[in-house]
Amino acid sequence: MRFRATLATAAIGLALIATALAQPSPGGARGKPSRIVSLNLCIDQLVLMVADPANIASVTWLATDPASSVMAARAAAVGLINRGYAEEILPVQPDLVLAGQFTTPFTVQMLRRVGFNVEVLRAPVTLDDLRAQVRRVGDLVHERERAEAVVAELDARLAAAAPAPGAVAPRAAVFQPGGFTAGRGSFEHELLRAAGLANVASERGIDFYGYLSLEELLLLRPDLIVSPGYVPGRPSIGEQVLAHPALRKAGASQRVVEVPSNLWNCPGPMNAQAVEIMAAARDQVR
């Protein structure tokens, strides 16, 4: 049975390759791409921000979900919505495919094997990385001027939200369902710093990502608890932790600032709004 499944998979792969090879060469001279495909939610949004809509052939299904994407309306207007499968992309004959470092390797390898131009972009871990990635996408889609405008707006909004020089940074904890938190080296840590907040995960020696229990949160007594906004209609026990009586008694439940998930589940220009929300909460603490 397993042998038959393997043969079937191989047959499908060969058929896909044959179909692609029967089409005109997707690359040609590397001019301005007119059939751009994105295989990653975070890159979807950058492409939708800087590329000419007429040149976007496909983005992922997650880009059309308003809870995940700030570009959902634009994504819904794209002709093909993909789930990251090579067989979805081959008929499009893209002249540029953009993937993330965690995109399914099989899809990337298959598309490259048949000659498509696939660029794999690493996830930014700093704001400088983010700026560089916006410019990189701008260059790849031949829209550097639009990319520079996006970076300029990002920088202007971050500068406006920055704390006053010498101001004491309120202590903040990122606390997501299940106690998941972000420490030094994470992109969320960068956003806390941009908002003029000190990350209490550092006091626990947490680097990158880790967990804080409810008890630790109570002992740390952060000035602010930063939590992703709940998705309406999708309640969970993990999300109800922030309504725990112990937090209410300690007054911590009054210091929760909700940042909608679509503003910081991806490194992107929309992070400026997340920083603005946290900066407003910072000023209320003071």
pLDDT tens track for 60-114: 999 999 999 999 999 999 999 999 999 999 999 999 999 999 988 999 999 999 9
* E-only strand ranges, the chain: 36-38, 56-60, 80-82, 96-100, 118-121, 171-174, 180-182, 198-199, 209-211, 224-228, 256-259
Q: How confident is the model at residue 31 (pLDDT cuts 50, 70, 90)?
A: confident
What average pLDDT does the structure give for the chain? 87
What is the C-alpha to C-alpha distance for residues 24 and 207, in angstroms, rounded to an integer? 49
Helices 144-161 + 41-50 axis angle, to 10: 110
Percent of the chain with pLDDT over 90: 73
Q: Is 226 exposed, middle or buried (0-12, 13-18, 19+ CB in 10 A)?
A: buried
- Digit-coded pLDDT (tens) for 152-183: 999 999 999 999 999 999 999 999 888 899 99
Partners of 154 in beta bridges = none
Measure the CA–CA gap between 109 and 85, rounded to whole angstroms: 11
* Type of residue found at 213: S
In the predicted structure, residue 247 carries a pLDDT above the cut 60: yes
Tokens 């998705």, located at residue: 231
Domain with CATH 3.40.50.1980 in the chain: 32-123, 162-285
Reported confidence tier of residue 240, pLDDT bands at 50, 70, 90: low
pTM, full prediction: 0.86
For residues 271-286, average pLDDT = 94
Mean pLDDT score, 134-148: 98
The CATH superfamily label for domain 162-285 reads Nitrogenase molybdenum iron protein domain (3.40.50.1980)
- Which pLDDT score, from 0 to 100, does residue 255 have? 86
Mean pLDDT to the nearest integer, 235-243: 63
Q: What is the fold of 32-123? A: Rossmann fold (3.40.50)
- Per-residue pLDDT averaged across 185-214, rounded? 95
Indicate if the alpha-carbon torsion angle 29, 31, 36, 37 is positive or negative: positive
What percent of the residues of the chain are helix, what percent strand, and what percent coil, each to the nearest 5?
50, 15, 35
pLDDT computed for residue 177 by the predictor:
80
Instruction: Please give the Cα distance from 217 to 235 (Å, whole number).
Output: 22
Report d(CA 225, CA 237) in Å as an integer.
18
